[in-house]
């Protein structure tokens, strides 16, 4: 059996981190994070990074690896994560990848195509319309014109939606078609595991986590990154709502409630994305024994 990467995917707050750390401890190996926000060292509370204790238990890659002043995307992640895997494989046979950013996981497993850049006039047109008609117009336009992308998009994130429209207007095709055309082959084995918990439990976990984030100082964290508020990583759940609170648009209670609602919606979209992957074997996140059994049958 050659080198193997075990991927733990699934919705936010399902218990991926705890499981990944258990597996990494068992195999005496490291974890590669597949999360589009945990790589930024300035944002930790709102991104639900592993705790200090967890980070000390097993080595992690792609956590606190970048500054919010840098732009990271799926193409960059593909390149870096393959380097991380190669590094881990120098003295170990197994590496663990854990995260909920579906596009990053797909880029690692299958590669990502170069998505064409849009001409300046198209970009300008979309940005002008967004400036006058707002996020709702953007969401509606993407939902109608590119439903495939809308189904899995971070719909609170205008940058992502604008990018999808740029590609659509430029090429006439959904941005999602550029992600599957030529699958790269990898010289290691990949075991894909999806974990979740029953819906009521997931919702309870999300509510609990959001209140814990608020108690841990999320507002202060967001205040500290105000100068970078237009950065892609901050156009996301947990940050946008607090920006609205700091702008005086909503109360802190409303912001907290909205974070819970938007996180639930995001978790649902993550599940939709991962369930479309037939290579993923699903487990209850608490069923460590079942996961271990499955991995052992695939390793031998």
- What's the CA gap between 228 and 202, in Å, rounded? 31
Q: Is 183 annotated as a binding residue?
A: no
Output phi, psi for 120, to 5 deg: -55, -40
The radius of gyration of the chain's CA atoms, rounded to the nearest angstrom, is 19
- What's the CA gap between 110 and 126, in Å, rounded? 30
Q: Is 158 annotated as a binding residue?
A: no
Q: Is 17 annotated as a binding residue?
A: yes
Output phi, psi for 169, to 5 deg: -65, -30
Tokens of 198: 């029953």
Shortest CA distance to 270 belongs to which of 4, 6, 58, 13?
A: 13
The shares of helix, strand and coil residues in the chain, as percent rounded to the nearest 5, are 55, 10, 35
Cβ distance 192 to 109 under 8 Å? yes
Q: Is 131 annotated as a binding residue?
A: no
Shortest CA distance to 125 belongs to which of 93, 89, 161, 169?
A: 169
Q: Is 14 annotated as a binding residue?
A: yes
Strands (E), the chain: 4-9, 31-33, 60-61, 94-98, 189-196, 281-284
- Return the residue matching tokens 């870096």: 80
- What's the CA gap between 88 and 90, in Å, rounded? 5
**Residues 6+ positions from 225 with CB-CB distance below 8 Å:** 42, 43, 68, 231, 234, 239
Q: Is 15 annotated as a binding residue?
A: yes
CA-CA-CA-CA torsion for 282, 90, 50, 226, nearest 10 degrees? -110
Pick out the residues of the known binding site.
10-17
Annotated binding site for ATP: 10-17
Which residues participate in the annotated binding site for substrate?
12-17
């Amino acid at each position: 059996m050659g080198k193997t990467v075990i991927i733990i995917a699934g919705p936010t707050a399902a218990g991926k981190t705890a499981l990944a750390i258990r597996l990494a401890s068992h195999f005496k190996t490291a974890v590669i994070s597949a999360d589009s926000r945990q790589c930024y060292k300035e944002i930790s509370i709102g991104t639900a990074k592993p705790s200090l204790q967890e980070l000390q238990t097993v080595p992690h890659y792609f956590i606190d690896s970048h500054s919010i002043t840098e732009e990271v995307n799926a193409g960059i992640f593909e390149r870096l994560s393959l380097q991380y895997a190669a590094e881990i494989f120098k003295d170990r046979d197994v590496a663990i990848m854990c995260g909920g950013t579906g596009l990053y996981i797909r880029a690692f497993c299958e590669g990502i195509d170069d998505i064409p850049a849009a001409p300046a006039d198209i970009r300008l047109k979309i940005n002008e319309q967004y400036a006058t008609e707002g996020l709702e117009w953007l969401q509606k336009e993407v939902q109608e014109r590119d439903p495939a992308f809308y189904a899995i998009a971070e719909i609170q994130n205008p940058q992502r939606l604008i990018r999808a429209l740029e590609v659509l207007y430029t090429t006439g095709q959904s941005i999602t078609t550029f992600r599957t055309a030529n699958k790269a082959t990898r010289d290691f084995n990949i075991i894909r595991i999806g974990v979740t918990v029953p819906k009521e439990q997931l919702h309870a976990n999300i509510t609990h986590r959001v209140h814990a984030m608020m108690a841990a100082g999320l507002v202060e964290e967001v205040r500290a990154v105000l100068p970078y508020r237009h950065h892609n990583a901050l156009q996301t759940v947990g940050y946008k709502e607090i920006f609205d609170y700091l702008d005086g648009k909503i109360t802190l209670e409303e912001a907290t409630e909205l974070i819970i609602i938007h996180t639930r919606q995001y978790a649902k979209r993550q599940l939709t994305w991962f369930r479309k992957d037939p290579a993923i074997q699903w487990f209850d996140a608490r069923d460590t024994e079942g996961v271990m059994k499955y991995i052992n049958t695939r390793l031998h």
